[in-house]
Structure 1
Amino acid sequence: MRQIILDTETTGLEVQRGHRVIEIGCVELVQRRRTGREFHTYLNPDREIDEGARAVTGIADEFLLDKPRFAEIAQEFLDFIDGAEIIAHNASFDIGFLDAELARAGIPEPRIGARAQVLDTLVLAREKYPGQRNSLDALCKRLDIDNSHRGLHGALLDANLLADVYLALTSGQGALGFGDEAVAGEVRVAAELRIVTRPRVLRALDAEIVLHEARIAAIDKASRGACVWRRLETEAAPIAATA
């Protein structure tokens, strides 16, 4: 399975008010392992960055003046993510902004969801830790992931942290060996063996039946006809006769 851990930084929080993507960071996983392949770029948004976004990211308007516009890197970005499962934290935010950028760039199919499956780690975290804080920082602390170098938000930095968070959140899957084809094959074979195997029936020998009957008769005599086993045999006889 190929997965892309994705994060974006933007000029503000509201895509409906024309805010734009200023940074994209992606980390590739294959069979739950990092491949070393990454996609990272800063973007010129052709608008100012809100003060709040500037404080969180540390990115200045001047820094982005010589960076490419989204339309210039759109195809390279799509080539990187196409066919993969996209994993993002609060995915609706990132995907909403990227869909808007793709539409603005005139891409024929501008929806990320039409090109790749999307998994939201915020939803996963809320299911696993209901009622608790599930920000990326909170999850790093809870899952013992070092984020001490995260003084500011950055798309590639956060994508790498999210990769660690995702793998920790879903570590039970890894324990089953689904990231290893050989182990996965053994699991499938074991499952098939369990399906086709039938219990072996061992029938009593004639001598054993004689001893059993003698023992039941002795119990029935000592209990003056109160032997439960003998009573069950008597009750079952009519059923067997009509079967």
Structure 2
Amino acid sequence: MLVVDENNQLGIDESGFMDESDFNTPISILHNDIFQLFSETNIFMYKIYDLLSPNANDLIGLFFVGVYIKIHKQIQSAAVLLSRGLEEETKIMLRSILDKLFIMRAIYNDKDNFDKLLSHHNFERRSLNNAIKNKLPGLEKLPYNKNLPKGNRTSMKQWANLANMDARYNVVYRLFSTNIHCSLSSLESDLSIKDGSPYMIDICPHFEETAKLLLTILDDAFNTIDIIVNYFGIDKSEYNSLKDRIMVYQNNEFNK
């Protein structure tokens, strides 16, 4: 939770950005066992920071730490949303997590893929730079740089393939894209239709998929943790214990 120290500086405790209220909502209580398991996982992820010792010359190690931090924050955000019945918003967050996890896992699988990431960033920068050169609306005052290097684009589908996570791409990433974009299927989830006409606007909490979504969050968390503990040689005793417990819930929930 957020805390203020003796110097009146704002910080966080061992639970990070989450506090007791996130685990005491009606939805959290309904799925108490899995939310408590998430709480333990979240605390474990914070413990890992104290065990990290990246080398300043290890660009890939530094990259992994940076992505780990971002994914960890988004994992907490997703759990908070889910505890309030905001399932669609949770799906949007889960898709954003995969944007990072696919690349992180691909580079862990093959360090040469880091060069693909650098090339992709050059491609994106050059694309924006060309838009600036053409003075597209809103970009007229930005400086044009004629010396930017070229690059090659790598799609998210390609990153998922390099990560050996094609199933995750197809089942989660593609499926949840409808929640991000203004798709008809997404809009229909908030309107109840009867005899061809809307008869109710649904602004209530949604919790029908809470267990599955929370277990998906945990799966992303452990996929991320797995990269970190293996790359930095961190003891896996607590990791294995938590992972085994999560797998029990996953087997029960996804094999119904």
TM-score by length of 2: 0.23
- Is the helix fraction higher in 1 or 2? 2
The structure with more radius of gyration: 1
More contact order relative to length (CA 8 Å, sep ≥ 6): 2
* Structure in which a larger fraction of residues adopt strand: 1
TM-score by length of 1: 0.24
